[in-house]
Amino acid sequence: MGELTGVSKRKKYYEPEPFGMVFIPQGSFNVGPSDQDVAWAQNNFSKTVTVDAFWMDETEITNNEYRQFVFYVRDSIMRRMLGEQIEDFLITEDEAGNAIEPPLINWDTKVDLKQEEQREAVKDLFYPEQERFWRRKDIDPRKLNYEYYWVDYKQAANKHNRYNFETKKYEGFVYNAQGEKVEIANRSAFVMRDVVNVYPDTLCWIADFSYSFNEPLANMYFWHPAYDNYPVVGVTWKQASAFCIWRTKFLNDYLAAQGDIFVHDYRLPIETEWEYAARGGLDLAMYPWGGMYTRNYSGCFLANFKPLRGNYSDDGGVTTVKVGTYEPNEYGLYDMAGNVAEWTCSAYDESSYAFTHDLNPDYKYNAKPDDPATMKRKVIRGGSWKDIAYYIQVSTRSYEYADSAKSYIGFRCVRTYLGNSN
């Protein structure tokens, strides 16, 4: 008809509620202290900010959920090793007969390690004989390395890094994931590649505490079924970030197979997103439940932390407890105070509240190997089972180094809501 109507036959989109996540509506709030700065940290101040709507995991990522990631990496490596000897484990051509490089994993072919040929092909994935304990043939967790990719939009958005339409080339440079300076030959320069070992540091239970008996937790916390629904710990910031990228790919590969083109990105929460969600819509609240006390009317503690003078068990848990043990906040989020502290995607700077924007405030810095240690700090929030009440307040900021794995730090994922939530 010659009229402007837009592209026809576009598929309408209604975002379904993601499994295990709750909706956090867009809104404004006063980020910053709701009580005295008793630690005299002077690392935050009250500031009105606005955040977009997003989805957030209702609990911290559990051992069993993270184990799905570990098993995926294990099975991927195993199938690629098998594919080097047995062609059925890899897809080397597409439907038109064109070569696929690198080959894709064929997940339909059955793995049967009772077969001598398969067992021999994957022998390097297990501990060598001289390292085995009681001759058990266990997977060597040092081999569970995950290669992952992401787009660095911050560097791509830099005006000096944009494509020059007059010279018809890129003229800037970027820093890759390893901190190396690379000239921009084409847009692939903005695709970051890194490799991380995905197995949690189970020895953190011993390393974190001097003269304390925690060997049972080091031996059993991550793999034993008794701890399946406990929050995963011993993961670094880098491992948590890699988990989010894997979770994104895992979902989007499934949706693509169903003919759904919509892409969903999981990530760690921005620091202000985390605080906004923890407050549960209750302005000026000190804790996620809204009051200024850590007990309810019956005298029971409302979170898993270090109450009184080291009476760890008085709140119902000596170390971590199952996720969702305590009541959720007004948004339906569990354990936003205590149990384990949580990684955010934000880099830590004492003065970041002063220079970040008031719309979706975000400060990120990907430290290079030769940067000072202060540039490698990441914000953690929520406090943990070992922390006093001050650290489980919704506004308390703390940090840990990105390469640190602690027995009291876990994480949960968020996903941006597509469209306007109103």
pLDDT over threshold 80, residue 5:
yes
pLDDT over threshold 90, residue 368:
no
Its pTM stands at 0.95
Q: How far, in Å, CA of 74 to CA of 52, rounded? A: 36
* Paired residues of 139 in beta bridges: 126
Of 93-107, 180-194, 313-327, 382-396, the range with the lowest mean pLDDT is: 93-107
Q: What's the pLDDT score for residue 42?
A: 79
Q: What mean pLDDT value characterizes the chain?
A: 93
Q: Which range is most confident: 27-41, 162-176, 236-250?
A: 236-250
Per-residue pLDDT reduced to its tens digit, 49-67? 999 999 999 999 999 999 9
E strands present in 171-225? 173-175, 181-183, 191-197
Q: What's the pLDDT score for residue 43?
A: 78
Residue ranges covered by each domain of the chain: 21-62+200-422, 70-134, 145-197
* Secondary element (H or E) of residue 170: strand 169-170
Per-residue pLDDT reduced to its tens digit, 266-315? 999 999 999 999 999 998 889 999 988 999 988 899 999 999 888 999 99
Of 44-53, 379-388, 398-407, the range with the lowest mean pLDDT is: 44-53
Q: What's the pLDDT score for residue 422?
A: 61
Confidence of residue 1 (pLDDT cuts 50, 70, 90): low
Three-state secondary structure call for residue 5 = coil
Q: How far, in Å, CA of 5 to CA of 3, rounded? A: 6
Q: What's the pLDDT score for residue 259?
A: 81
Q: What's the pLDDT score for residue 196?
A: 97
Q: What's the pLDDT score for residue 414?
A: 98
Q: How far, in Å, CA of 403 to CA of 308, rounded? A: 32
Cα–Cα distances (Å) from 405 to 199, 320, 325, in that order, read 11, 16, 24
CATH number of 21-62+200-422: 3.90.1580.10
Per-residue pLDDT reduced to its tens digit, 104-119? 899 999 999 999 999 9
Confidence of residue 421 (pLDDT cuts 50, 70, 90): low
Buried-state track 218-255, b at ≥16 Cβ within 10 A, e below 16: beebbeeeebebbbbbbbbbbbbbbbbbbbbeebbeee
Q: Is residue 56 a contact partner of residue 24, using CB atoms and an 8 Å limit?
A: yes
Cα–Cα distances (Å) from 27 to 35, 382, 383, 419, in that order, read 22, 21, 24, 14
Per-residue pLDDT reduced to its tens digit, 69-109? 999 999 999 999 999 999 899 998 888 888 888 898 999 99
